Structures are given as C-alpha cells and as structure tokens.
Amino acid sequence: MKKCGAVVIGGSAGSLDVLLKVLPEINPKIDFPIIIVIHRKQGADSLLTDLISHRTNLKVKEADEKESILNGCIYIAPSDYHLLIERDFTFSLDYSEKINYSRPSIDVTFQTAADAYGDKLVCLLLSGSNADGVNGLISAKKNGGITLAQDPDTAQVTYMPEQAILKANVSLVLKIDQMADYINSLSETH
C-alpha cells in the first residue's frame, strides 16, 4: 500500500466498546487522520467526543462543515448528519434521507472517502446490527483501498462484520486486540 491517507472506522451497536479499547493504543504521532462514523441517538453529541478524547492523546473533535482534514486528529461524524469527504480533503455535512435507517450513514462516508483517497484509504467496519458500510467497503476496495472487518467472534453484534466478510470480500479480518497495532503499522512514524 502507498502511504495511508486516512483510516475511516464505521460501527453501530457494540462498536463504542471496541473504540474505547483500540483508540487509547493508537500512536499519537500517526501521520493520517482517523474518521469515525457511529450510529447513535440524537443529542449524544458532545458525550461521544468527550468520552473518546479522555481515552487518547490524539486531538478528538466533531467534524465541521468545510473543515480541512488534518493528520493526527480523530474526527467524529456528528449525529443526524451524513459525513461526506470531499476531493479537496474537507468535510461536508448532509441532512438528506437516512440510508439503511441511519444518518450518519457509514456507506456515505466510506464511499466519499474512497473517491477522495483512492488507494490510500483504509476502512474498518465494526460491530453492528445492519449492513450499513458494506457497500462503502466495496467502493473502497474497487478504488484500491484496504478494507477491514472486526472478527465477528469478538463483536457484541455480529451482523455488520459478517455482512462485510460475506459481501465485501474484505482484505483482512481483525480481532479487537489486533486493531491498534494494525492502524499504528500504517503510519510512517511508527
């Protein structure tokens, strides 16, 4: 793989626990952004950002409209908006229809990230109860990106990673305790 441009992580039910185990282990000197899309209830905005920022030495913030995406930062998709990644490496927020009953949709972020980052993209799909993210993984792989799924045996809710493995022919299946090492290995500063 060429130098990693971004790691985009999607998840739903059961994925927050995974993130709270993995993110503290991420090297604070990584040379790419981590963008997280989690299905969550409206109004839980700052709670998620605060919870994650207390567990990592990386800067954590909710993604803003037209914000430039910076390396070494963790961005959280705002609740109730689709998070799009533009080709100039900025964010756009969109309030269009829900996809797979979800807004933000993991598919939307994975697909727009695939268009922006091409073969420098890594997408990871975690625990969840629907197939949101699977089509995005397919797009990422078509554009030369690396696609990852949580090992369903380690997921609280197995459906989402199972669908990723079944339908998206992911590059690699990772157990929770392998994820941070894998992400750290993508950085040229590790």
Identify the pLDDT of residue 101: 86
pLDDT tens for each residue of 171-188: 999 999 999 999 999 998
pTM of the model: 0.96
Residue 190 lies in a domain: no
Residue 52 lies in a domain: yes
Catalytic one of 15, 39, 82, 102: 39
Expressed as residue numbers, the domain containing 177 is: 6-185
- The CATH number for 45's domain is 3.40.50.180
Counting the structural domains of the chain, the total is 1
108 — pLDDT class (breaks 50, 70, 90): very high
Residue 1 lies in a domain: no
Active site residue 132: yes
CA dihedral 142, 147, 151, 154 (to 10 degrees): -130
Query: Which of 122, 173, 88, 141 is CA-nearest to residue 8?
Result: 122
Active site residue 39: yes
Catalytic one of 15, 127, 132, 187: 132
pLDDT tens for each residue of 1-57: 569 999 999 999 999 999 999 999 999 999 999 999 999 876 555 688 899 999 999
Residue 115 lies in a domain: yes
Residue 111 lies in a domain: yes
Active site residue 151: no
Identify the pLDDT of residue 129: 93
